[in-house]
Amino acid sequence: MKDISESQARLKGIFNITVTPFTASGEFDFAGISRNIERVIGLGYDGILVGGTYGEFPAMTADERANLFRHVMEVVGDRVPVMLCSAGSDARVVRDLTQLAGDLGGLPMVTPPFVSEVTDAQIISFFKQMAPLSRTGILVYNAPGIGITLPPVVLEQLADIDGVVGIKQGDLNPTAIDQIANRLGGRLRLFCASDLAFLGPMMCGFDGISTTNSGALPEIILATYRALESGDANTARELHHLWYPYRALARRYGQPQLVKAAMNLRGFDGHHVRAPLIDLEPEIINLVGQELQRLAADPRSGVTLK
């Protein structure tokens, strides 16, 4: 993407959150990353997100993240829009990665700075400093999982900053979703940050979702989203219900650990997580395998096993 207007136009639909496959010794498998990207683009995903919380960016150095950005953009080119997570606790790193992401043609995804006792005014000031650094604009990631939840009143103030093109909303409280959809919808792009419960936000008028579990179950999650997008709420609900047991495992054992285990079982390039995360134990992987077999036995899922 070349500028903010193009980001605003293309930022919609279903985006795969691409996991970062690490070798057993903790190195990047760049070939595996490429194969994972090609798979979801080939299936018809509207975009990808790289290096986010489930991409394990907190376990990477700034140089590793920059190299990951460059590799992904070389693979994708301009075929689909790419969100590149430039979040961090060091504003200098965020600044450098945000500028790099925009220069590469990606859309930087920025969280509030996760430092203790940061105020709303400081958060707003931080985003005002970051937004002008990227020629493609920035995406605000409201990420309760890293310790800061931005209330709708703060998100409204961030929406007024030049260069903010969208919000990836991780707080899925129904009241917050209702307020954001009705106050900010049409002003900037709204993304649901979780595929575990995305039907509600999409029905409220969100512009898209980002999905980690589509690394392991790309077919059924894409079909669920497309059904909802086309107005077929009944089919979307049935498909979403179909993979609930998998979601229950994901909630219990964590992402991206479970996603990578399921990818490995399907012959995809999930590989390993990086410390401090720990790969799933064999007995848990066996449960994941049983769930994949159940899904593969149901033709509605589109899931196949090798």
Nearest-angstrom CA–CA distance, 256 and 259 = 5
The per-residue pLDDT for range 241-256, each reduced to its tens digit, is 999 999 999 999 999 9
Residues 66 and 101: beta-carbon distance below 8 Å: no
pLDDT at 147 over 80: no
Q: Is the pLDDT of residue 146 over 90?
A: no
Question: Is residue 46 predicted with pLDDT exceeding 90?
Answer: yes
What value, to the nearest 5°, has the Cα angle with vertex 223 and ends 219 and 227? Answer: 175
By percentage, how much of the chain surpasses pLDDT 70?
A: 100
How many CB atoms are closer than 10 A to CB 160? 11
The reported pTM is 0.96
* C-alpha torsion angle, residues 141, 147, 153, 154 (rounded to 10): -60
Mean local confidence (pLDDT), 39-56: 96
Distance in angstroms (rounded) separating the CA atoms of residues 23 and 225 = 32
Provide the percentage of residues in the chain whose pLDDT is more than 90.
Answer: 95
The predicted-structure confidence for 108-130, as pLDDT tens digits, reads as follows: 999 998 888 889 999 999 999 99
Active site residues: 141, 168
Beta carbons within 8 Å of 122's beta carbon, 6+ residues apart: 113
Q: What is the pLDDT of residue 119?
A: 92
Instruction: Identify which of 92, 70, 75 has the alpha carbon closest to the alpha carbon of residue 84.
Output: 70
CATH topology for the 4-234 domain: TIM Barrel (3.20.20)
Residues whose CB falls within 8 Å of the CB of residue 205, separated by 6 or more in sequence, listed in order: 181, 182, 185, 190
Residue 58: asked if its preceding bond is cis (omega within 30°), the reply is no
Q: How far apart are CA 202 and CA 256, in angstroms?
A: 23
Select from 53, 85, 90 the least CA-distant residue to 69. Answer: 85
Which tens digits make up the pLDDT trace of 266-297? Answer: 999 999 999 999 999 999 999 999 999 999 99
Calculate helix-pair angle for 282-296, 257-265, nearest 10 degrees.
Answer: 60
Q: Are 213 and 195 in contact (CB under 8 A)?
A: yes
Q: Provide the pairing of β-strand 107-110 with 82-85.
A: parallel
Using alpha carbons, list the distances in angstroms from residue 29 to 53, 198, 232.
18, 30, 39
**What does the domain layout of the chain look like in residue ranges?**
4-234
Contact criterion met (CB below 8 Å) for 105 and 134: no
**What angle, rounded to 10 degrees, do the helices at 152-159 and 120-130 form?**
30
Q: How far apart (Å, rounded) are the C-alpha atoms in residues 108 and 94?
A: 10
Give pLDDT tens digits for 213-237. 999 999 999 999 999 999 999 999 9
Write out pLDDT tens, residues 73-88. 999 999 999 999 999 9
Contact 155, 111 (CB under 8 A): no
